[in-house]
């Protein structure tokens, strides 16, 4: 279960135009960041928008009142009603979606210069997401009664496509965030999702950054290499790694949350006695200042650890955060108002006391009076507890505190044996204890709470000037929060995970701009820890061989292999080491999967239609740098139609530069390799002896026919022998006809394969860095091989 802090805090504004272009503005209330995206929705089912909404998991979705989509299309508003009915939908007038206002607002509110995003140059082009931003910010300011502080927001723009797109179905298929079986009742699988495997982050912001990275890995090689260099340094410098792990613990878990209290300035600030609601707000504010003070106090330690770091990422954090004098001056200002001994505390009453005594004594007379009253009532409550212990002979009576009830009494059940004195009220049984109160205690609780409320209110007034001064440097707080989240992810998640694995079992991937996707001895990052004897396998895809067809009986390891390749690419592109001996890859920009996820009743669609819809979505959105994973396409309809669809889909994919791995039970599909030289056939080796299948999980070259493995497995599953015998005779007759029907004239395609082979060798030579003489020799060899028909 997700803990409180991990719950989404996104408010998302959506708008589209008649050309089905969609603008999205996602405002994270917690980290005060604004994420803008604009794209053309290629599928009528709004797959991209669905994926984005799943990614943000918003608490509120803001849409205009009527749809503008062309007839027959599901407008974004309808999409929200249909698929996100549990999310609060806020309808705002069209006038609120004002792109000019949006452009000015984002420019003013952004902590960094927006020119790097290209947003100000192209703002006419990206008018939809800016319009959505205007509506979203307006809604937040009105709903929360705040004004967003200038230069406080971290703004990102996804229209520049800096991230890999993984559609919502693929996120599910690849078990990135949740396992496929996590929702099935009665399943007791040890398998974790990739997110859960890596979720050893210590801060809430770090966990959220990790989740965002897994859902949208990076495409920018420089940033990825930056993270990998940092990991290299951590893995080779134990002192730095442990030093950083230790120092990160000193920062409060919720450091990123502090930000939002400086980014949002309350609209109404009054010197009058504050209402209960205001008192709650000021309580949060005081807590934020204490959190910030604790974080700033930990900065010198971070500075000490990072001083000699060499990698660009760590040096950059050292230079921009640790060496900045701004944090020192913020800390000094805090020190002028806040008591030095005040610390961030988790225990509710300790936190309440720390907050009441946060401001230095003597600054505000009213505050000092309110504090005295708070101390008096707190003392009276403890004296009352002592009185009960002695008078009623209840030595084990305890006085716990929670924010809702205040103080209450806890007595072990065995101490009272059912004879609880009548003065105890609100009696509730809790395990072996009894929780209760008394009229005296309740009255003291009210007085204590009211004294604390007065303390908060006076404290908030004292803090106003300090808050405003800090707001001037709010961009620095954004920077600090970002740096801490990044360090948390890289140190506590990536480096920690790698350090728990056997030495050298995870290696640094290499990136090329146009090279192959090659994985040597790759393993499944999650299954390898469940199976001690997990078998490693290779992957090789290049422009010359951009499709791999994997065959093999059921249970031979096909689906695992497909998932393993994608998870390895994702790990590499978030800047983490990968479970393989060696990996080189060209950056992937889209990952698509078509796998057989457990049928969902909610989807209200047949297995075949789901399969076709998913395939159509892939075909419409594919790019030349996509990675496509297809598992058993065409199995859910008649065998002839299924085969025809699978064959033609493969032909379509072969005409593109994208890399595809296709797993199938249709043995005739291997004939594609006869016609297309860029298809490679592989199979999972299975030893068949005495009608028994021995799975080796080893991937081997070429096709391999395992006769009637379906029947063998059906027999193992317990189908009656008479049924199996009948099935055997039927399958023998069908196979004979099938072979004749799909046989391809191999001789016809032989010359094309030879020419293709020559062309590929020439391309390899062009890219090679060999000397002139060796190239000449290689050309001579090529000529000879060609003359002998060996290529």
Ligand X SMILES: Nc1ncnc2c1ncn2[C@@H]1O[C@H](COP(=O)(O)OP(=O)(O)OP(=O)(O)O)[C@@H](O)[C@H]1O
Q: Which of 682, 683, 676 is nearest to 653 (CA)?
A: 676
Q: Which is nearer to ligand X, 533 or 772 (CB)?
A: 533
- Residue in 156, 554, 584, 637 binding ligand X, rule: CB under 6 A: 554
Q: Which is nearer to ligand X, 324 or 538 (CB)?
A: 538
Piece in contact with ligand X (CB under 6 A), picked from 79-87, 173-181, 479-487, 526-534: 526-534
Measured in degrees and rounded to the nearest 5, phi and psi for residue 132 equal -65, -35
Rounded to a whole number of angstroms, the minimum distance from the CB of residue 696 to ligand X is 9
Rounded to a whole number of angstroms, the minimum distance from the CB of residue 189 to ligand X is 10
Rounded to a whole number of angstroms, the minimum distance from the CB of residue 534 to ligand X is 4
Q: Which is nearer to ligand X, 38 or 551 (CB)?
A: 551
Q: Any residues with CB less than 8 A from the CB of 770 and at least 6 apart, and which?
A: 778
Q: Token pair 């890596």 is at which residue? A: 198
Q: Which is nearer to ligand X, 453 or 553 (CB)?
A: 553
Rounded to whole angstroms, the Cα distance separating 474 from 478 reads 6
Contact 517, 266 (CB under 8 A): no
Strands (E), 64-168: 88-91, 146-148, 154-157, 165-166
Q: Which is nearer to ligand X, 108 or 554 (CB)?
A: 554
552 belongs to the binding site for ligand X (CB under 6 A)? yes
Q: Token pair 């971070």 is at which residue? A: 302
Rounded to whole angstroms, the Cα distance separating 646 from 549 reads 11
Burial bucket for residue 59 (CB in 10 Å: 0-12, 13-18, 19+): middle
Q: Which is nearer to ligand X, 181 or 753 (CB)?
A: 181
- Residue in 22, 535, 570, 574 binding ligand X, rule: CB under 6 A: 535
- Chain positions 244 to 273 lying near ligand X, rule: CB under 6 A, are none
- Chain positions 738 to 757 lying near ligand X, rule: CB under 6 A, are none
Burial bucket for residue 504 (CB in 10 Å: 0-12, 13-18, 19+): exposed
173 belongs to the binding site for ligand X (CB under 6 A)? no
Contact 247, 287 (CB under 8 A): no
Rounded to whole angstroms, the Cα distance separating 444 from 406 reads 10
Contact 12, 61 (CB under 8 A): yes
Strands (E), 290-393: none
Rounded to a whole number of angstroms, the minimum distance from the CB of residue 21 to ligand X is 39
Rounded to a whole number of angstroms, the minimum distance from the CB of residue 531 to ligand X is 5
Contact 548, 660 (CB under 8 A): yes
542 belongs to the binding site for ligand X (CB under 6 A)? no
Piece in contact with ligand X (CB under 6 A), picked from 1-9, 381-389, 478-486, 530-538: 530-538
Q: Which is nearer to ligand X, 191 or 410 (CB)?
A: 191
Structure tokens at 170: 């693929």
Distances (CA, A) of 358 to 226, 449, 483, 618: 41, 17, 27, 57
**How wide is the angle at C-alpha 61 spanned by C-alphas 616 and 592, nearest 5°?**
25
From its phi and psi, is residue 161 left (phi > 0), alpha (psi between -120 and 50) or beta?
left
Binding mask 647-686 for ligand X (x = CB under 6 A): ----------------------------------------
DSSP letter at 534 equals: P
Rounded to a whole number of angstroms, the minimum distance from the CB of residue 556 to ligand X is 4
Rounded to a whole number of angstroms, the minimum distance from the CB of residue 569 to ligand X is 17
SS3 content of the chain, % helix, strand, coil (to 5): 50, 15, 30
Q: Which is nearer to ligand X, 242 or 695 (CB)?
A: 695
Q: Which of 640, 511, 641, 491 is nearest to 586 (CA)?
A: 511
Rounded to a whole number of angstroms, the minimum distance from the CB of residue 535 to ligand X is 4
Q: Which is nearer to ligand X, 45 or 554 (CB)?
A: 554
Rounded to a whole number of angstroms, the minimum distance from the CB of residue 722 to ligand X is 25
- Chain positions 693 to 712 lying near ligand X, rule: CB under 6 A, are 697
- Chain positions 555 to 574 lying near ligand X, rule: CB under 6 A, are 555-560
Rounded to a whole number of angstroms, the minimum distance from the CB of residue 290 to ligand X is 50
> Quick one: which H or E segment has residue 214?
helix 204-215
220 three-state secondary structure: coil
Piece in contact with ligand X (CB under 6 A), picked from 34-42, 91-99, 103-111, 552-560: 552-560
Rounded to a whole number of angstroms, the minimum distance from the CB of residue 537 to ligand X is 6
Piece in contact with ligand X (CB under 6 A), picked from 373-381, 406-414, 496-504, 550-558: 550-558
Rounded to whole angstroms, the Cα distance separating 52 from 193 reads 20
Rounded to whole angstroms, the Cα distance separating 710 from 297 reads 66
Q: Which is nearer to ligand X, 172 or 556 (CB)?
A: 556
Rounded to a whole number of angstroms, the minimum distance from the CB of residue 530 to ligand X is 7
- 390-395 CB contacts, 8 Å cutoff, 24+ apart: 392/421
Contact 207, 196 (CB under 8 A): no
Q: Which is nearer to ligand X, 184 or 777 (CB)?
A: 184
Binding mask 190-209 for ligand X (x = CB under 6 A): --------------------
Q: Which is nearer to ligand X, 51 or 559 (CB)?
A: 559
- Residue in 307, 423, 429, 531 binding ligand X, rule: CB under 6 A: 531
Piece in contact with ligand X (CB under 6 A), picked from 73-81, 293-301, 419-427, 531-539: 531-539
Burial bucket for residue 501 (CB in 10 Å: 0-12, 13-18, 19+): middle
Rounded to a whole number of angstroms, the minimum distance from the CB of residue 172 to ligand X is 16
Q: Which is nearer to ligand X, 267 or 531 (CB)?
A: 531
Q: Which is nearer to ligand X, 243 or 552 (CB)?
A: 552
Q: Which is nearer to ligand X, 343 or 555 (CB)?
A: 555
Rounded to a whole number of angstroms, the minimum distance from the CB of residue 554 to ligand X is 3
Piece in contact with ligand X (CB under 6 A), picked from 23-31, 88-96, 442-450, 549-557: 549-557
Rounded to a whole number of angstroms, the minimum distance from the CB of residue 538 to ligand X is 12
Rounded to a whole number of angstroms, the minimum distance from the CB of residue 304 to ligand X is 45
Q: Which is nearer to ligand X, 294 or 556 (CB)?
A: 556
- Chain positions 84 to 103 lying near ligand X, rule: CB under 6 A, are none
Cβ neighbours, 10 Å, residue 199: 18
Piece in contact with ligand X (CB under 6 A), picked from 199-207, 243-251, 266-274, 548-556: 548-556
Q: Which of 589, 481, 657 is nearest to 220 (CA)?
A: 589
User: DSSP for 19-62?
Assistant: T-EEEEEEEETTTTEEEEEEEE--STT-HHHHHHHHHH--SEEE
Rounded to a whole number of angstroms, the minimum distance from the CB of residue 566 to ligand X is 13
Q: Which is nearer to ligand X, 554 or 742 (CB)?
A: 554
Rounded to a whole number of angstroms, the minimum distance from the CB of residue 517 to ligand X is 18
Relative orientation angle of helices 348-356 and 365-391, to the nearest 10 degrees: 150
Strand 60-63 relative to strand 10-16, pairing: parallel
Q: Which is nearer to ligand X, 239 or 532 (CB)?
A: 532
Cβ neighbours, 10 Å, residue 20: 19
Q: Any residues with CB less than 8 A from the CB of 343 and at least 6 apart, and which?
A: 290, 294, 354
Piece in contact with ligand X (CB under 6 A), picked from 206-214, 527-535, 569-577, 578-586: 527-535
Instruction: Count residues binding ligand X (CB under 6 A).
Output: 13
Measured in degrees and rounded to the nearest 5, phi and psi for residue 205 equal -60, -40
Structure tokens at 239: 């002192």
Which residues in this chain contact ligand X in the complex, by CB under 6 A? 527, 531, 534-535, 552, 554-560, 697
């Amino acid at each position: 279960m997700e803990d409180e802090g991990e719950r989404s805090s996104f408010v998302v504004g959506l708008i589209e135009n008649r050309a089905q272009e969609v603008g999205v503005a996602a405002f994270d209330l917690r980290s005060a960041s604004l994420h803008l995206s604009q794209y053309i929705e290629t599928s009528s089912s709004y797959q991209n928008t669905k994926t984005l909404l799943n990614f943000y998991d918003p608490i509120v979705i803001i849409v205009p009142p009527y749809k503008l989509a062309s007839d027959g299309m599901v407008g974004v508003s309808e999409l929200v009603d249909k698929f996100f009915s549990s999310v609060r939908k806020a309808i705002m007038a069209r006038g609120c979606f004002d792109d000019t206002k949006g452009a000015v607002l984002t420019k003013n509110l952004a902590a960094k210069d927006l020119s790097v995003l290209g947003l100000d140059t192209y703002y006419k082009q990206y008018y939809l997401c800016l319009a959505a931003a205007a509506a979203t910010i307006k809604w937040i300011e009105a709903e929360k009664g705040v004004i967003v502080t200038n230069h406080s927001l971290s703004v990102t723009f996804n229209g520049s496509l800096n991230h890999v797109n993984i559609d919502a179905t693929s996120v599910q298929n690849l078990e990135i965030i949740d396992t496929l079986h996590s929702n099935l009742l009665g399943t007791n699988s040890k398998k974790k999702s990739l997110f859960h495997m890596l979720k050893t982050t210590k801060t809430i912001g770090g966990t959220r950054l990790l989740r965002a990275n897994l859902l949208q890995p990076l495409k920018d090689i420089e940033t990825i290499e930056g993270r990998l260099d940092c990991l290299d340094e951590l893995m080779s410098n134990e002192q730095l790694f442990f030093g950083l792990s230790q120092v990160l613990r000193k920062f409060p878990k919720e450091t990123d949350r502090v930000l939002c209290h400086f980014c949002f300035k309350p609209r109404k600030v009054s010197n009058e006695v504050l209402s209960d609601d205001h008192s709650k707000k000021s309580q949060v504010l005081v807590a934020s200042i204490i959190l910030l003070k604790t974080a700033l106090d930990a900065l010198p330690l971070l500075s000490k650890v990072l001083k000699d770091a060499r990698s660009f990422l760590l040096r950059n954090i050292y230079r921009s955060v640790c060496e900045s004098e701004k944090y020192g001056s913020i800390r000094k200002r805090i020190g002028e108002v806040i008591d030095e001994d005040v610390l961030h505390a988790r225990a509710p009453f300790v936190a309440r006391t720390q907050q009441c005594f946060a401001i230095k004594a003597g600054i505000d007379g009213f505050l000092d009076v309110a504090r005295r009253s708070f101390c008096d009532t707190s003392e009276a409550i403890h004296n009352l507890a002592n009185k009960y212990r002695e008078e009623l002979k209840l030595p084990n009576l305890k006085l716990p505190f929670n924010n809702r009830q205040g103080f209450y009494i806890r007595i072990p059940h065995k101490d009272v044996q059912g004879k609880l004195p009548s003065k105890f009220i609100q009696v509730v049984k809790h395990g072996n204890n009894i929780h209760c109160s008394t009229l005296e205690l309740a009255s003291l609780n009210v007085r204590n709470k009211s004294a604390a409320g007065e303390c908060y209110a006076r404290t908030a007034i004292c803090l106003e000037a300090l808050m405003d001064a800090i707001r001037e440097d709010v961009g620095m707080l954004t920077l600090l929060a970002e740096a801490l989240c990044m360090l948390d992810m890289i140190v506590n998640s990536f480096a920690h995970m790698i350090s728990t694995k056997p030495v050298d079992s995870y290696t640094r991937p290499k990136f090329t701009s146009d090279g192959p996707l090659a994985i040597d001895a790759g393993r499944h990052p999650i299954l390898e820890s469940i199976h001690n004897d997990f078998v490693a396998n290779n992957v090789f895809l290049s422009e010359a061989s951009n499709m791999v067809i994997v065959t093999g009986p059921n249970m031979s390891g096909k689906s695992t292999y497909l998932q393993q390749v994608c998870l390895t690419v994702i790990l590499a592109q978030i800047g983490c080491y990968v479970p393989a001996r060696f990996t080189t890859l060209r950056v992937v920009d889209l990952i698509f999967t078509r796998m057989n996820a457990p049928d969902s009743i909610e989807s209200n669609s047949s297995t075949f239609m789901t399969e076709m819809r998913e395939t159509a979505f892939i075909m419409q959105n594919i790019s030349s740098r996509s990675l496509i994973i297809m598992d058993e396409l065409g199995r859910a309809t008649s065998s002839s139609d299924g085969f025809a669809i699978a064959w033609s889909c493969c032909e379509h994919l072969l005409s593109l530069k994208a890399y595809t791995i296709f797993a199938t039970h249709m043995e005739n599909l291997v004939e594609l390799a006869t016609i297309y030289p860029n298809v490679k056939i592989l199979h999972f080796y299975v030893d068949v002896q005495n009608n028994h299948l021995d799975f080796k999980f080893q991937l081997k070259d070429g096709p391999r026919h395992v006769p009637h493995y379906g029947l063998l497995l059906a027999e193992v599953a317990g189908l009656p022998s008479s049924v199996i015998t009948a099935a055997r005779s039927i399958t023998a007759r069908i196979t004979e006809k099938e072979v004749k029907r799909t046989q391809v004239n191999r001789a016809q395609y032989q010359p094309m394969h030879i020419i293709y082979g020559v062309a590929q060798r020439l391309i390899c030579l062009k890219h090679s860095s060999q000397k002139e003489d060796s190239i000449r020799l290689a050309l001579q060899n090529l000529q000879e091989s060609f003359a002998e028909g060996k290529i």
